[in-house]
Amino acid sequence: MYLLFVLYVLASLFVGYLGKDRLIGFIGFFVLSLLVTPVVSSIVLFLGLRRPGSA
């Protein structure tokens, strides 16, 4: 059970890292991943808007 929790948090951190250049940033995607699932958050990540000024 502990291993699943650690994997869930690591996946959430990874999604947050991927979202660091997006509109809501690392913290936003990390919290979103914790509240829903990292899979749903990654879908939102790839459909979402980039931060203005980033390539």
Burial class of 16 by CB neighbour count within 10 A (0 to 12, 13 to 18, 19+): buried
Radius of gyration of the chain (CA): 11
Question: Mapping DSSP to helix (H, G, I), strand (E, B) and coil, where does residue 45 land?
Answer: helix
Tell me the C-alpha distance between 52 and 33, whole Å.
23
Residue spans of the domains in the chain: they are 2-47
Mean pLDDT of 39-43: 92
Q: What is the pTM of this model?
A: 0.84
- Kindly state the tokens that stand for 17: 């890292």
> Residues 6-23: pLDDT tens digits?
999 999 999 999 999 888
Tell me the C-alpha distance between 6 and 4, whole Å.
5
- Average pLDDT for the chain: 90
